[in-house]
Chains A and B, each alone.
Chain A
Amino acid sequence: DARVTQTPRHKVTEMGQEVTMRCQPILGHNTVFWYRQTMMQGLELLAYFRNRAPLDDSGMPKDRFSAEMPDATLATLKIQPSEPRDSAVYFCASGLTAYTDTQYFGPGTRLTVL
């Protein structure tokens, strides 16, 4: 059954290290979203791609975060350098342009920056 996959599921790293999170959208979906969930801020959108092109990354700290879609089956979110305040659960979601009323979420990556 089709689902969004994310790797790794858990990541513990030290401040200053680079972190890369990966997402495989549902086959055929051409919209990909990155969300971050924290206790304080709740769920917030970081970036959004359609047909691999970034359409909105206004929620993402530009100095340390970057999001890309090297191909239609892979989306990446990188943090360099990481900071303790980046500790959160990062979700990827995908959808179909024609049916953009529904976004399907992956299981998330729990990131802890020490």
Chain B
Amino acid sequence: AQTVTQSQPEMSVQEAETVTLSCTYDTSENNYYLFWYKQPPSRQMILVIRQEAYKQQNATENRFSVNFQKAAKSFSLKISDSQLGDTAMYFCAFMKPGGGSNYKLTFGKGTLLTVNP
């Protein structure tokens, strides 16, 4: 079974600065997907960024980028130019493509990020 670990329960950053959230995972699979989801106080789960394991290039979405280290099974999220609206719980998630129950997302416990003015 796959596991996802987020070792930082809480983090804080000053507005406009850069912060990195850590995530490690454990799997024996070679092909899989990794995600970062954001959950603001509204509780809505919002997809931030995704990475296909077969791709060497790190995914980027505007101010959000990842550092994907496949050999180390590490998938960190970097938020540049932090904004107050980035305050949220961030979840790292793993999915192995395929049939049946493989489609399920396995989530980490989350990191609560607070952006301070």
Using a Cβ cutoff of 8 Å, how many contacts connect chains A and B?
57
The answer to whether B43 and A42 have CB atoms under 8 Å apart is no
A110-B70 Cα distance, complex, nearest whole Å: 36
Give chain A's interface secondary structure class: strand
Q: A102 and B47 in contact (CB under 8 A), knowing A42-B109, A42-B110, A43-B91?
A: yes
A108-B44 Cα distance, complex, nearest whole Å: 7
A44-B91 Cα distance, complex, nearest whole Å: 12
Least CB distance from B43 to A in Å reads 5
Residue tally, chain B, CB below 8 Å to A: 24
A77-B47 Cα distance, complex, nearest whole Å: 23
Contacts of A93 in B (CB 8 A): 45
Closest 3 CB pairs of A and B: A105-B45, A56-B101, A43-B107
